[in-house]
Amino acid sequence: MRTHDRATVRRLLASARYEILPTATIEAKVLEAVPTEVPLTVTASPSMGLERTVGTAERLAAAGYTVVPHLAARMVSGRAELVELAARLAEAGITNVFVPGGDADPVGDYHDAVSLLEDLTAIGSPFAQIGVTGYPESHPKIHDDLTVQSMWDKRKHATYIVSNLTFDPAVIKDWLQRIRRRGIDLPLLLGVPGPVERTKLLGMATKIGVGDSTRFLAKQKGLMTRLVAPGGFTGESFVERCAPTLGDPLMRVAGLHVYTFNQVAETEAWRRDWLARLDG
């Protein structure tokens, strides 16, 4: 790997954040294995409910972590609840949220991320940072034209993009170039998987609920085959192959968003080992 590419990978690893699912045991695992300087994002799923997401975020914030809860639009009933959530998160010192549409059937006024984002702006933009989803590959249920239009609509309300998983460096390069040509200049956090073991991934699928698991697998399409291959897939070779694109200042790639599947100890050990090798 070229010196410039090594520097790019090191920069991105140093600013990585970990995505976790708010299961009953995750807080203890985080406290034991993850240093407080690593930001955490807490997902929202229909089976667990938004309260689990917010409560987990509050407790981890109180423990000294920078926490980014997911406010899945379809799980929020309307502006009154949104105002309450914003006040509650502000009380916890949380200034950054991630707003996906979510997989649940709408419980109220919000049928997509854009409508909730518009209301966040209307109530005074209570969060300093707001992340939205980017789709390097086609979504199984949303036409490409709609995802393109949605990102254009969301750009006025968001401050950064998090990309969904893909394992093709050429796809990332093409997608980034296309969104930059369209005038979408929000910084990007590149979504990558941490080290994944087959048995633990399957166990996690049962914990997040059958419906959630089915939706997750559907969204990932053929990617799961590579994730559960013998030995697991860490994303290391993918990031290194993407490095020339990620290091281009015009692409505005600010860091990594690591999908840990709650294997936080393994993910942190992998990140530290990779950093040590890059520095060696």
Which pLDDT tens digit goes with each residue over 78-128?
999 999 999 999 999 999 999 999 878 899 999 999 999 999 999 999 999
Amino acid at position 48, single letter: M
Helix (H) or strand (E) run with residue 67 in it: strand 67-69
- Integer Cα distance of 149 and 249 in angstroms: 25
Cβ–Cβ < 8 Å for 5, 35:
no
Of 199 and 17, the one with more pLDDT: 17
* pLDDT value of position 198: 60
Distances (CA, A) of 158 to 8, 61, 89, 189: 25, 22, 18, 13
Residue 44 or 233, more confident: 44
Q: Which of 132-146, 149-163, 251-265 has the highest mean pLDDT?
A: 251-265
Task: Provide the H-helix boundaries in 39-197.
Answer: 50-62, 79-91, 113-122, 144-154, 169-181
Q: Coil, strand, or helix at residue 254?
A: strand
CA distance readout (Å), 82 to 60, 93, 99, 110, 236 = 21, 16, 12, 10, 38
Q: Higher model confidence: residue 88 or residue 149? A: 88
Q: What is the pLDDT of residue 151?
A: 80
Coil vs helix vs strand at 112: coil
Q: Tell me, what amino acid is at 178?
A: R
Task: Return the SS3 of 273.
Answer: helix
